[in-house]
Structure 1
Amino acid sequence: MERLLILNPGSTSTKLAVFDGEEPLFVESITHSAEELAPFDCVADQYEFRRDLVLDCLKRHDIALESLTAIVSRGGLLTPIEAGAYEVNDDMVWQLKNKPQNEHASNVGAMIARSISLQLNIPAFIYDGVTVDELLPINKITGLPMLRRKGMGHNLNTRAAAMRYARENNKDYKDITVIVAHLGGGISVNLHHNGKVEDFINDEEGPFSPERAGGLPMFDVIKMCFSGEYDYKSMMKLVKSKGGLLAHLGTTDSREVEKMIQNGDEHAKLVYDAMILNVAKNIGKVAPGVCGKVDAILLTGGIAYSQYVTSEIEKRVSFIAPVVVYAGEDEMRSLALGGLRVLRGEEKAKTFVKNENPGY
C-alpha cells in the first residue's frame, strides 16, 4: 500500500490530504485566524500548534498513523536547491528553524513531516520546493555584481504542468522545451529545457498580477524608498500584497474585474489588458534562451480558467509555439505524485546539507 500524508502550510491555513496511491482519501484546509497566530513571534514557533491540528484532522478522518507509508510536504524557504525530491532530515529542519531565506508558513511543513516520520519510522520528503534554482549562469547575471537573478517561485505547479505535457505527448520531461506561465495571485514565467528550469522570471520582476506590483521603474522605486513615506515593511507590503489589480481596481479577483469590463468599465479593461500584455511580453523574454525553439507554451494557475485571458495571451504568443492551457493548480496532487515517483523508484530523493552562512 502507498498511503501518503501531504502537507501544505500557508500563511492563514494548513492544507493537508491523505492519498492512497494517486487517489485522495480526503483533502482539507484548516483556516487559522489572526488571533490564533498572534501569540507566535515567528513561523517556527507555530510548529506544535500546526502539528497538533494535523494529528487531530487525521483522527477525525479515521486515518491511523500506522497506516501511513510516507509524508510529502511543500518545501520551505531553504537555501537554493535542485528540482525534485529531497528527504526531510535534521539539516533541513535546522535550516528552516535557524537560517531560512525568509519567514514563510511553508517552513513549518518539513518540521511537522520530520516529527511524524521519526515517530513512525517512515520517509518524509519535500518536492519542488519554492527555492529550486536551476538557472543557467548566464541567466543569473544582472547589471550589479552583488545582485543576481533567482529561480525562486512557483516551481511545484509549473514543473507539474511541464511533466503533464511531457506525459501527454509520450515524451520524457528532459526531452521537451516548454515555457510555463503560472497565472495566480502572483504571476511567474519559466523556461524548461534539458530537464531543468533554465530561466525564471518570478513575480517580483515579471508581470504585475492580482496582488503583486511586478517589475517597476527602478529610479522611481528608489525615490519612493527614500521619500520618508515608506519604511522597509510598508514598501514590501505594497509590492507583494497591495499592488497589481488590487492597487488599480480594488480587487484581487480576476472574475470581478471581468464583470467590471462586461459592465462597460473602460479603465478596468485597460488595466486588465495591460496585465495580460505583460504576461505575453515576459513569455517572449525567455524564448531567446533557446533561440525560439519551443515545443509549447503552457498556461496554468487559477486565472488560466479565464478564456478571455488565455485567448488574449495565445493571440500574442502563438507565433513562438502552440499554447496549451492547464487551468488551476493542484499542489496536493503534485506533491503526492512527486512522493510516489520516489517510492516507486522512478526518482531518487536528494540529501539536503545545511548552510550556516547562506547567501543568495
Structure 2
Amino acid sequence: MLKRILAINPGSTSTKIAIFEDEKLINKTNIKHSTEEINTFKTVFDQFNFRKNALLEELDKIGVDIHSLDAVVGRGGMLKPIEGGTYNVNQTMIDYVKAAPRGEHASNLGCVIAKTIADEVGIPSFIVDPVAVDEMNDIARFTGMPEIRRQSLFHALNQKAVALKAAKDLGKDYHDLNLIVAHLGGGVSVGAHEKGRVIDVNNALDGDGPMSPERSGAVPLGPLYKMAFSGEYTLEEIKKKNYGKGGLVAYLGTNDGFEIEKRINSGDQEAKFILEVMCYQIAKEIGSLAVVLKGNVDAIVITGGLAYDKMIINFIDERTSFISRMLVYPGEDEMESLALGALRVLNGDETPKEY
C-alpha cells in the first residue's frame, strides 16, 4: 500500500510543502509570506502558529486531509551537531530549536510544525539530514590555531540524498562506498563520504574551501586581516565579501550561471577565465579529499544547480577524471530528499534515530 507523506520546508519568507505517495510527487506548493507579516514576530519560534495555520489552509484548499497521511517530515534546523540520518521528532528537539542556541533560522520550525500535525492524527514525524549533521573525524577539525576549530556545516540533505542515489546506480550499498560529493549552488560544499559518514567537508558558510557564485571561499589570511583592520570596512562589509558578495559576484557582478554562460558564448574571455578559476578551486578541493580517502574513491558525485552547466562539469572533469568516474545529478530537490528519508523508515529500510 502506498505511503502518503507530507514534507515541510520553512524558508525565510515562504513555507514549501509537498505531498508524496511513496516516491511519486502528488502536489507541491510554495506558500509565500510577506516580509511585513514575518517582521511582526519577535523570534522565528513565534511564527509557529502563523505558518502552521497557513499550511493547514493550503492543505484544505488542495483537498488533502491530514488523516490520509502516513507521516510528516520537516526540514531539520540549527540543531546541535548530530550524525546523518532520519530522526524522530521529540520534545528534546523542540525545546532545542525554541531556545535556538545555534541561531535563529526558519528551518527550526520544520520539526515543530511536523510534530504538531502528526501528533494530531497519531502518525510519526521526522526530520532528515539537517544542516547540523556532523560526522567529521577529529583530525579534520584541527587548524593551526588552537582557538579555532573547523566545523561541519554543509548541504547535508542534498549531499546524503545524491550519495544514496549514486550508490543505487552503482548497485552497491552507500555504507560500502567511498564517495566525494560536491554540491555546487550559491555555496559550494565538497564532502568525503567514507562508508556512509561524511568524515571531512569544507564549511561553506565560513570562508572555507572553493569560491562559489556568491562566496569567497578560502583567502590568504594576511591580506584579509590587514583589510579588516584598515578602517576602510565595517565588520558587516567584510562578512559580505565572504558571504553574499564574494566569488563570481565580486568578479563578474552576477551569480547567475546562465547569464555567465551567455557572456562566455558571446566571446567574454574574462567571464570564461573566472568561471574556470572557480572550477579549478572545486577540482582542487576534490583532489584534497581524494587524499583524505587515501585514493580509494569509488565515484565523484556532482550535484546542485550549477551541475546543469556542461561547461562547469567539463572543466572539473578534466582535472579530476584520473581520481575516479564522475556521476552527475543536477539540481537540488529538498522536498524529495525529505520524503525519501521518511519513506525509508516507513518501509523498514532505515531505523530512525533519537535526538
Q: TM-score, normalised by structure 1?
A: 0.94
Unaligned 5+ segments in structure 2 are none
Asked if 1 retains the 8 angstrom alpha-carbon contact of 2:178 and 2:193, the reply is: yes
- 1:313 equivalent in alignment to 2:316: yes
CA RMSD of aligned residues (A): 1.5
Query: What residue number does 2:169 align with?
Result: 168
- Determine helix, strand or coil for the equivalent of 1:29: strand
**Which range moved further: 5-14 or 331-340?**
5-14
For 1:89 and 1:228, the matched residues in 2 are separated by 48
For 1:229 and 1:30, the matched residues in 2 are separated by 41
**Which range moved further: 231-240 or 2-11?**
231-240
Residues 31-84 of structure 1 deviation map (CA, whole Å, 9 limit, x = unaligned): 333223222233222222221221111111100011111111111010101000
Question: Paired residue for 2:211, among 184, 208, 212?
Answer: 208
Q: TM-score, normalised by structure 2?
A: 0.95
Query: What residue number does 1:357 align with?
Result: none
Structure 1 stretches of 4+ with a deviation exceeding 6 A read none
Asked if 1 retains the 8 angstrom alpha-carbon contact of 2:150 and 2:203, the reply is: no
Question: Paired residue for 2:258, among 247, 255, 258?
Answer: 255
For 1:282 and 1:109, the matched residues in 2 are separated by 32
For 1:45 and 1:14, the matched residues in 2 are separated by 15
- Determine helix, strand or coil for the equivalent of 2:25: strand
Residues 127-174 of structure 1 deviation map (CA, whole Å, 9 limit, x = unaligned): 011010001111111112232112211011111111111111221111
Unaligned 5+ segments in structure 1 are 353-360
- 1:284 equivalent in alignment to 2:287: yes
Query: What residue number does 1:239 align with?
Result: 242
Letter in 2 for 1:299: I
% identical equivalent positions: 47
Q: CA deviation at 1:223?
A: 2.6
Q: CA deviation at 1:259?
A: 0.8
Residues 264-314 of structure 1 deviation map (CA, whole Å, 9 limit, x = unaligned): 222212211111111101111111112111011011011000000001100
Q: CA deviation at 1:229?
A: 4.0
Number of matched pairs: 352
Q: CA deviation at 1:346?
A: 1.3
Map 1:74-89 onto structure 2 (within 5 A): 74-89=75-90
Letter in 2 for 1:262: N
Letter in 1 for 2:338: L
Query: What residue number does 1:147 align with?
Result: 148
Q: CA deviation at 1:28?
A: 1.4
Q: CA deviation at 1:30?
A: 2.0
- Determine helix, strand or coil for the equivalent of 1:106: helix
For 1:45 and 1:228, the matched residues in 2 are separated by 38
Q: CA deviation at 1:175?
A: 0.6
For 1:217 and 1:244, the matched residues in 2 are separated by 14
Query: What residue number does 1:113 align with?
Result: 114
For 1:298 and 1:2, the matched residues in 2 are separated by 29
Letter in 2 for 1:4: I
- Determine helix, strand or coil for the equivalent of 1:181: strand
For 1:321 and 1:117, the matched residues in 2 are separated by 43
CA 1:12–1:207 in structure 2 vs 1: closer, same or farther (change >3 Å)? farther
**Which range moved further: 138-147 or 35-44?**
35-44
Query: What residue number does 2:271 align with?
Result: 268
Letter in 2 for 1:54: L
Query: What residue number does 2:27 align with?
Result: 26
**Which range moved further: 297-306 or 212-221?**
212-221
Residues 191-213 of structure 1 deviation map (CA, whole Å, 9 limit, x = unaligned): 11122111111313011111112
- Determine helix, strand or coil for the equivalent of 1:272: helix
For 2:200 and 2:304, the matched residues in 1 are separated by 19
Query: What residue number does 2:72 align with?
Result: 71
Query: What residue number does 1:47 align with?
Result: 48
Query: What residue number does 1:358 align with?
Result: none
For 1:110 and 1:90, the matched residues in 2 are separated by 10
